[in-house]
Structure 1
Amino acid sequence: MAKQRTKGRSAKSVRRFRPLAWVRRWVLRFVAISVGVVLLVVAVHGTVEPPRTFYMGQEERRLGRIDHIWVPLADVAPVMARALVAAEDANFCGHWGFDMTAIRTAIEEGYGRGASTLSQQTVKNVYLWHGRSWLRKALEAVITPLVELVWTKRRIIEVYLNVAEFDEGIFGIEAAANHYFGVPPDRLSAVQAARLAAVLPDPKGRSASKPGPDLRRRAARIQDGAATIRRDGRSACFED
């Protein structure tokens, strides 16, 4: 009888093992752990300077060196932050990482750049890689809300300005201000700030110090936009 009961329990154990349920359970655990690790890293970077980005490393290996010095946003002329928002994401203070109006417009008009917010660009620059792929976009879509949840809007601007590429091998607003105009970032004028913001779509193909007609026109629009968002309060979320 004892042997029969033992055999019965063994048979039930075999029957009860469900591979799909086991795999699903471990996948869920892996996802939970991954999200926890990402959230912890994002939380730390809410106050601690992130390491050099993957793209910076690529460029440093290609060029031999890059120019990059981290600077607090308090040491950057306020007009630079306004110019950046006017150029890249005018509704920055009003969204949670994704500008749904811009996304709908981009889909309707068949272009993509205008739909990418500063929050998304910051996530891509700091945590991911350049280039188009569904995997990168999926990771960006997951991490962006976490950044918006943990970081302040001012912190997003600060990090973006410190990791953005402004010319070949020139990363961050400290290096850019000195490279183009020979001034520290807290001495940037409204015109200089607008020109720096204007090179961001194509930092290797445009020059803030030697702007062509197209860049001058774009910079003039950015300068007007920076003044407008200050007047109408759209810069309140990142201003002191």
Structure 2
Amino acid sequence: MAEVKRGFFRRSWSVLWRIALYSLLLLMFLLLVLRFVPPPTSSFMLQSPYPVRQQWISIDTLPAHVALAMVASEDQRFPEHFGVDFGAIKDALKQSDEGSNLRGASTITQQTAKNLLLWPGRSLVRKSIEAALAMSLELIWGKKRILEVYLNIAEFGKGIYGVEAASQYYFGKAASKLSRNEAARLAVMLPGPRSRDPRFLTPYLQQRVSWVEKQMRQLGAGYLNSVVN
């Protein structure tokens, strides 16, 4: 009887190991394809309760200040880290009570992984998967592609995904025509895109736009040159 049980567990472990391996290989193949092909949709778009607006735009056709605004607002160490900002995570853990959700530590790479492949939520399990995917994106895609996909799948309103759809909806113009101020206005929407409108900012968000523009000036126009060139 004991031998039968051991045989059963060995076979079960072998099957689970093969499933995990094949799933990992399939995921790596998918990421490799998406390194060159625009994602037709994303996990968050599929889960959206609103009609989806999204139009792909190449990062090469965008003014440099559009990407800079997002980096200045969301992840100023984006050119330096490898998908996960461990310093930010350490700070977030220090500020949280034991067992509480992890907040304020997601990089642009992690947000891209989450929006593209995962689900909303702040559990440590999901955060762990997100971090592993983020490092995979850094390895397979590189910074430029990560930033390009992020700019095209980030949510900027109810069912509005990507800077092109957002620019058309809010400002009636192509994203290639966005001013620095308009880019900063879009950037401050990202923490709460379904409750914010870049055309009608609260005093707090007006201050936030001013802060983002100041950060953009301090970082400098060439801050992302090593990333996007």
Does the alignment pair 1:83 with 2:69?
A: yes
Letter in structure 1 aligned against 2:42? T
Deviations 1:37-80 (Å, cap 9, x if unpaired)?
10000111011011212321232xx33x3221111111222101
Letter in structure 2 aligned against 1:49? P
The equivalent position to 2:114 in structure 1, one of 113, 121, 124, is: 124
Letter in structure 1 aligned against 2:91? T
The equivalent position to 1:235 in structure 2, one of 220, 224, 228, is: 224
The equivalent position to 1:102 in structure 2, one of 80, 83, 88, is: 88
Q: In structure 2, do the counterparts of structure 1 residues 29 and 168 end up closer, same or farther at CA, with 3 Å as the change threshold?
A: same
For residue 31 of structure 1, what is the aligned residue in structure 2? Answer: 20
Alpha-carbon distance, 1:236 to partner: 3.1
Q: Is the CA contact 2:114–2:130 (under 8 Å) kept in the aligned structure 1?
A: yes
What is the CA–CA distance in structure 1 between the aligned matches of 2:121 and 2:207, rounded to whole Å? 28
What is the CA–CA distance in structure 2 between the aligned matches of 1:135 and 1:108, rounded to whole Å? 19
The equivalent position to 2:131 in structure 1, one of 135, 141, 163, is: 141
Letter in structure 2 aligned against 1:46? R
Letter in structure 2 aligned against 1:188? L
What is the CA–CA distance in structure 1 between the aligned matches of 2:44 and 2:68, rounded to whole Å? 25
Equivalent residues in 2 for 1:55-94, closer than 5 Å: 55-59=44-48, 62-63=49-50, 65-94=51-80
Alpha-carbon distance, 1:138 to partner: 3.3
For residue 10 of structure 1, what is the aligned residue in structure 2? Answer: none
Q: Is the CA contact 2:89–2:105 (under 8 Å) kept in the aligned structure 1?
A: yes
Alpha-carbon distance, 1:234 to partner: 4.3
Deviations 1:179-237 (Å, cap 9, x if unpaired)?
12122111111111111001110111111111111111111111111222236x64233
What is the CA–CA distance in structure 2 between the aligned matches of 1:92 and 1:151, rounded to whole Å? 14
- SS state of the match for residue 79, structure 2? helix
Q: Is the CA contact 1:87–1:197 (under 8 Å) kept in the aligned structure 2?
A: yes
Letter in structure 2 aligned against 1:38? L
What is the CA–CA distance in structure 1 between the aligned matches of 2:8 and 2:131, rounded to whole Å? 31
- SS state of the match for residue 237, structure 1? helix
- SS state of the match for residue 192, structure 1? helix
Letter in structure 2 aligned against 1:27? L
Q: Scaled by the length of structure 1, what TM-score is found?
A: 0.85
What is the CA–CA distance in structure 1 between the aligned matches of 2:39 and 2:213, rounded to whole Å? 30
Letter in structure 1 aligned against 2:153? V
For residue 176 of structure 2, what is the aligned residue in structure 1? Answer: 186
Aligned residues: CA RMSD:
2.0
Does the alignment pair 1:211 with 2:225?
A: no
Letter in structure 1 aligned against 2:43? F
What is the CA–CA distance in structure 1 between the aligned matches of 2:77 and 2:45, rounded to whole Å? 28
Q: Scaled by the length of structure 2, what TM-score is found?
A: 0.89
Percent identity between the two aligned chains: 36
For residue 43 of structure 1, what is the aligned residue in structure 2? Answer: 32
Alpha-carbon distance, 1:147 to partner: 0.8
**Structure 1 residues without counterparts, runs of 5 or longer:** 1-13
What is the CA–CA distance in structure 1 between the aligned matches of 2:142 and 2:217, rounded to whole Å? 22
The list of structure 1 runs, each at least 4 consecutive aligned residues, that deviate by more than 4 angstroms after superposition, is none
